[in-house]
Each structure stands twice: as structure tokens, then as C-alpha cells.
């Protein structure tokens, strides 16, 4: 028969295993359901690959001088133990030397994606401005600038002022005298640092940072883009062959349709 002390030990061990199991499954649930909205450090690779490579070591968190980065806990809506940040609380302050990325031991944070070639010297150098942590999205229904109140808090907070966010004057048709000063986000220049969300004067920010995959759609592979001219030329004959019937239907009988 087990002694009372041994019984207590077994109960404590069982409780510990239950807690660890709950934390593990809670982390899996968060990882699969809520991590699509998670904002990750500069240089983070694509979400699925990031979650596979990140070993939750916290090296990037320790290196961040502004305490922007955090490791997700069970209560957070993010992959358990993975680094992320909440721009409304502390945005990314765009350190020029990007100290959070080099310590990553697995390549989950890719330093090469933050390197830019200098046009004069031809040498590669780190450039935090080419990071793409997310993109700013403005809620026009709650932004006071769209109500005619002159507010440029997000515009002035942006480290890439007039590049990632610029302001546009729009005529106020109601008065005919005043103009709206409207903030506009240029998605291809926005780094997703979150300085704008942090600076918004509204109780609940009218401008938020979301991952690119959430905000911007993905173009279908069947579309031919102007930038892909070389690839288009290689594939155009196959495309025409495959769609010959449709082309004949649309283009061959148009005169008969007009006559009818």
C-alpha cells in the first residue's frame, strides 16, 4: 500500500502533467486558429515555415532594445512561445542595425530578406525599411479625419512619412469651403512597424496593422502580368492552344451576332 506521502507526490505529478498537456494543446489551438493575425519580427519568413523553424528560444526578444517583442503565452492569441508584438502597446521602432534578426539560430528570421545592395558601392547593407511585418489598414468609419476633424497623428508618426502614409485633401461638398485631410496608406511601402496604430488618438485605434496575407489578396497563377513578359512569351502559345475554342467562339462569329 502506498504511503500518504507517495500518494501526494503522485497527485502532484498528475496535476503537473495535466497542466502541461493543457498548455500544449492550448498552444496548438492558438497556433492553428489565431496566428493568422499575429505580427512577427522583421525578416520573419512565411507563417507556416516560420512556425516550423522557430524553436521559441527568445533570442530575438532578448535582443530587442525597446521590449517590443514578446513570447506568446497560453493566454495570447498566437503560437505558444513564438515571438510577436502588439503595435498598439509598443510598435517596432525600426532599429537601423536590426538587432533582433541576427541572433536567430534557425533562419526563422531571414537576414538576407533585409539586405539591400548599395547602388554606388555595390555592397549589401541592412535596411529595415524593406521589412514587411504587415500593412496598415484604416477604418474610415471611425477615423475622425473622415469626419472633417484635422488629425494627422498617424501620418506624423510614420517613420516613412509621405512614403508609407501620405495625406490627401478632398473637397468638403457639404460646406464647399473646407477640405478633408485624409490619411492614405501606400501598401507597397508600408513596413508594418505599427507606429501609426500606436499614435492613433482614438480609444480603439482607427488604423491597425495586419499581416499582408490577411489584407492583400493573392493573384491567380492563370493571370499574365506585364512584369512577367519573358515568361509570358514562353507560355503564350500553350495558352492560345488551350483556349482556341473559346477564342474562336468569342472572336470568330461576332459579325453574325451583330447582324442578328
**The CATH number of the domain where 213 resides is what?**
3.30.70.20
CB 202 within 8 A of CB 155: no
Q: Are residues 65 and 172 in the same domain?
A: no
pTM: 0.72
Q: Tell which residue, 19, 40, 26, 142, has the closest CA to residue 86.
A: 40
Q: pLDDT averaged over consecutive 10-residue blocks of the chain (260 residues)?
A: 62 59 52 71 94 95 97 86 96 96 96 91 92 96 92 96 94 74 95 97 96 77 60 58 55 54
pLDDT for 60 = 97
Q: Are residues 22 and 127 in the same domain?
A: yes
Residues whose CB falls within 8 Å of the CB of residue 32, separated by 6 or more in sequence, listed in order: none
Q: Answer yes or no: is 227 within a domain.
A: no
3-state secondary structure of 250: helix
CB 208 within 8 A of CB 139: yes
Q: Are residues 191 and 120 in the same domain?
A: no
Split into its structural domains, the chain has a count of 2
Q: Are residues 162 and 118 in the same domain?
A: no
Q: Are residues 91 and 155 in the same domain?
A: no
Name the helix (H) or strand (E) containing 27.
helix 4-33
Name the helix (H) or strand (E) containing 15.
helix 4-33
Q: Can you say whether the dihedral through the CA atoms of 210, 169, 143, 70 is positive or negative?
A: positive
CA distance 211 to 192: 8
Q: Answer yes or no: is 79 within a domain.
A: yes
Q: Answer yes or no: is 162 within a domain.
A: yes
pLDDT tens digits along 92-139? 999 999 999 999 999 999 999 999 998 888 899 999 999 999 999 999
Full domain range(s) for residue 110 = 15-131
CB 196 within 8 A of CB 90: no
Q: Answer yes or no: is 210 within a domain.
A: yes
Residues whose CB falls within 8 Å of the CB of residue 235, separated by 6 or more in sequence, listed in order: 224
Q: Answer yes or no: is 256 within a domain.
A: no
Q: Are residues 48 and 140 in the same domain?
A: no
pLDDT for 2 = 56
Amino acid at each position: 500500500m502506498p504511503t500518504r506521502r507517495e500518494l501526494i507526490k503522485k497527485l502532484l505529478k498528475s496535476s503537473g502533467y495535466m497542466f502541461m498537456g493543457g498548455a500544449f494543446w492550448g498552444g496548438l489551438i492558438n497556433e492553428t486558429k489565431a496566428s493568422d493575425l499575429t505580427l512577427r519580427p522583421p525578416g520573419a519568413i512565411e507563417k507556416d515555415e516560420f512556425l516550423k523553424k522557430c524553436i521559441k528560444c527568445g533570442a530575438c526578444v532578448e535582443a530587442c532594445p525597446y521590449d517590443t517583442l514578446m513570447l506568446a503565452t497560453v493566454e495570447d492569441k498566437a503560437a505558444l512561445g513564438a515571438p510577436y508584438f502588439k503595435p498598439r502597446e509598443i510598435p517596432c521602432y525600426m532599429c537601423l542595425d536590426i538587432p533582433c534578426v541576427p541572433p536567430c539560430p534557425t533562419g526563422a528570421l531571414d537576414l538576407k530578406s533585409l539586405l539591400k545592395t548599395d547602388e554606388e558601392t555595390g555592397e549589401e547593407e541592412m535596411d529595415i525599411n524593406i521589412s514587411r511585418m504587415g500593412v496598415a489598414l484604416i477604418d474610415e468609419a471611425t477615423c475622425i479625419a473622415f469626419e472633417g476633424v484635422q488629425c494627422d497623428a498617424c501620418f506624423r508618426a510614420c517613420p516613412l512619412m509621405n512614403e508609407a502614409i501620405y495625406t490627401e485633401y478632398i473637397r468638403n461638398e457639404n460646406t464647399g469651403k473646407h477640405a478633408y485631410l485624409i490619411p492614405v496608406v501606400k501598401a507597397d511601402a508600408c513596413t508594418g512597424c505599427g507606429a501609426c496604430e500606436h499614435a492613433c488618438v482614438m480609444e480603439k485605434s482607427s488604423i491597425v496593422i495586419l499581416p499582408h496575407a490577411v489584407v492583400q489578396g493573392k493573384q491567380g497563377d492563370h493571370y499574365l502580368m506585364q512584369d512577367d513578359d519573358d515568361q509570358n512569351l514562353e507560355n503564350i502559345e500553350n495558352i492560345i492552344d488551350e483556349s482556341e475554342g473559346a477564342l474562336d467562339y468569342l472572336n470568330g462569329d461576332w459579325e453574325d451576332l451583330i447582324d442578328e
